[in-house]
Amino acid sequence: MTLPIDWITALASRLRAPLPQERAHRAMAPAGRFAENAHFQPNASTRLSAVLIAFYPKNGNLYFPLIVRPDNSGVHSGQVALPGGRQDETDTDFVMTALREMEEEMGVTVPREAVIGELSSFYIPPSNYLVYPILACLPAPPTFSPNPSEVVKVLEVDLATFAYTDTRKQKVIQASYMEAEMPYYDLEDHTVWGATAMILSELREVWLEVFPHDSFSQK
């Protein structure tokens, strides 16, 4: 099974148009995330980073991977995230950052020509990162070889389940820097919250604009 060209073209075209950004992010944001406060804005010491949403066909459906961070990985220790990380000085752009991090963390080489666009950048106050989400389409399921120092588990998320069913829930979530009741996605029996959930919220909204009905698995 290969990804249909018309599907890739339609999604890439939508990504070039104005994105829902804050509207989509608010759906999965903790209380106060969009308050008029400098705490929620990038600053002079903000670090730049990129993450990769890599779609691939598998068993007649479309998937993308998430990772579970080790418990010793700093501010976001133990959390579910998209593959990605900090931009290096040698990276020519955010696409290169996302692809390099995917290879370093997951052992998967994604060619630049597989990239179809990006979502809205997103600021993460606890780690002071500005994140650029990059999207790519792979022609076949990748073979993951996760780096154990950065990834303890790979979650393969069925896009149809994520986009067309209600996986949004709410509960009190604890982290080293906060404890609050907030929305999250229940994906593969894992709690996906915070920046990752807000980025995925924009992905879901964009996807449903282009493909309001689950038809991919029937192609």
Does any domain span residue 38?
A: no
Instruction: Tell whether 191 is covered by a domain.
Output: yes
Residue 66 dihedral angles phi and psi, to the nearest 5°:
-120, 165
* Cβ–Cβ < 8 Å for 117, 15: yes
Q: With a cut of 50, list the residues of the chain below it in pLDDT.
A: 1, 218-219
Q: How far apart are CA 11 and CA 53, in angstroms?
A: 13
Is-contact 93 187, C-beta < 8 A?
no
Distance CA 32, CA 11 (A): 32
Q: What is the span of the domain harbouring residue 123? A: 5-33+44-211
219 belongs to a structural domain: no
pTM: 0.91
DSSP 8-state secondary structure symbol assigned to residue 29: P
The distance from CA 199 to its chain's CA centroid, rounded to whole angstroms, is 6
SS3 helix, strand, coil % of the chain, rounded to 5? 30, 30, 40
Residue the block writes with tokens 């999604």: 11
Question: Tell me, what CATH number does 91's domain have?
Answer: 3.90.79.10
- By the 8 A CB rule, do 102 and 94 touch? no
Looking at residue 174, what is its pLDDT?
82
In this predicted structure, what is the pLDDT of residue 163? 95
Question: Hey, what's the torsion of the CAs at 137, 188, 123, 11, to 10 degrees?
Answer: 30
20: in domain: yes
Q: Where are the alpha helices (DSSP H) in the chain?
A: 5-15, 22-26, 94-106, 159-164, 194-210
3-state secondary structure of 26: helix
CA 94, distance to chain mean position in Å, is 14
- Tell me whether residue 217 is in a domain: no
* 22 assigned to some structural domain: yes
Please tell me the total count of domains within the chain.
1
CA 95 to centroid of chain Cα atoms: 14
Length of the chain as a residue count:
219
75 part of a folded domain: yes
Structural domain includes residue 16: yes
Q: Output b/e per residue, 76-91; b: 16+ Cβ within 10 A.
A: beebbbbbbbebeeeb
